[in-house]
């Protein structure tokens, strides 16, 4: 087993208990998704004022909700197309909220360089999700590129807990650019290899 696989397995133990509690209480997964974004806004607020440790703790709580909503939906047999759509849309709000918190912090510190780096990281993070969503309306799957949402969230937490947010913004920014490029290239190749569409 790999190190990251082992960490994932260990994290699943408490999460299973939380999922079981939500299923027992029959909490609707869409409500869990919405509560997740509200807690993420609180984390963004803490980031905006430079309270990184409390932001990190709040992010953990928020992302428990983000993580369990799909699993609770499956357990309750409450999966729906709208649920998937709602989850994706709310996830984008959560992502953007955290970046805006940091942009506020850096602008209040009069660091326009990091305002720009964070804004670019935010732009490419959103484009990472958009390119995949748009690609998968044309091809069956476009799951390439490293910097997806779980990686971004874990990096945000690492940056917050160890006060290394600047380095984290560089990593998210650069790897998101490559992820977007990767998805564009992959979609181009897949479409090129596909059978030509008949002319209408």
Partner 1 sequence: MKKTVTLPGRILWNAFFWTYDRATWQYDLMVIAILAFVWLTPPDWLGDPTASGPGPLGYLADLLQR
Asked whether the beta carbons of 176 and 124 are under 8 A apart, the reply is yes
Q: Min. distance of Cβ 174 from partner 1 in angstroms?
A: 9
User: Which tokens belong to 181?
Assistant: 């490029």
With a CB cutoff of 8 Å and minimum separation 6, the contacts of 93 are 37, 40
Instruction: Based on the shown chain and the rule CB under 8 A, indicate whether residue 51 belongs to the binding site for partner 1.
Output: no
- Closest approach, Cβ 143 to partner 1, in A, equals 9
The three state secondary structure string of 3-64 is HHHHHHHHHHHHHHHHHHHHHHCCCCHHHHHHHHHHHHHHHHHHHHCCCHHHHHHHHHHHHH
User: Applying CB under 8 A, does 38 fall inside the site for partner 1?
Assistant: no
Measured distance CA(43)–CA(54) in Å, rounded: 8
Interacting residues with partner 1 between 136 and 165 (CB under 8 A)? 144-146, 150, 155, 158-159, 162-165
Indicate which single residue of 52, 67, 99, 156 sits in contact with partner 1 (rule: CB under 8 A).
Answer: 52
Which position among 27, 45, 50, 70 is part of the footprint of partner 1 (CB under 8 A)?
50
Decide if residue 87 touches partner 1 (CB under 8 A).
Answer: no
> Are the CB atoms for 200 and 147 separated by under 8 Å?
no
Is 49 near partner 1 (CB under 8 A)? no
Q: Given the complex with partner 1, which of 37 and 187 has the nearer CB atom?
A: 187
Q: Does 135 bind partner 1 (CB under 8 A)?
A: no
Residue 173 contacts residue 124 (beta carbons within 8 Å): yes
Q: How many CA atoms lie within 13 A of 71 on its CB side?
A: 14
> Which x/- pattern, by CB under 8 A, does the window 160-199 give for partner 1?
--xxxxxxx-xx---x--xx-xx--x--------------
Residues that bind partner 1 in the complex, under the rule CB under 8 A? 1-5, 8, 50, 52, 105-106, 109, 111, 113-114, 144-146, 150, 155, 158-159, 162-168, 170-171, 175, 178-179, 181-182, 185
């Amino acid at each position: 087993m790999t190190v990251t696989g082992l960490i994932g397995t260990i994290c699943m133990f408490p999460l299973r208990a939380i999922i079981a509690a939500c299923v027992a209480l029959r909490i609707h997964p869409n409500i869990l998704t919405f509560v997740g974004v509200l807690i993420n806004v609180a984390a963004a607020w803490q980031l905006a004022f430079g309270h990184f440790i409390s932001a990190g703790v709040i992010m953990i709580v928020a992302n428990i909700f983000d993580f369990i909503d799909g699993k609770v939906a499956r357990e309750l047999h409450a999966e729906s197309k709208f649920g998937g759509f709602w989850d994706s849309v709310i996830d984008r709000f959560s992502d953007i909220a955290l970046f805006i918190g940091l942009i506020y912090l850096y602008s209040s510190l009069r660091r326009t360089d990091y305002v720009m780096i964070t804004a670019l990281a935010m732009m490419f993070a959103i484009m990472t999700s958009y390119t995949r969503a748009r690609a998968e309306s044309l091809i069956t799957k476009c799951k390439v590129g490293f910097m997806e949402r779980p990686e971004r969230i874990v990096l945000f937490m690492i940056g917050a807990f160890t006060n290394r947010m600047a380095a984290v913004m560089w990593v998210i920014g650069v790897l998101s650019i490559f992820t977007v490029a990767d998805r564009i290239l992959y979609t181009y190749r897949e479409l090129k290899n596909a059978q030509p569409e008949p002319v209408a």
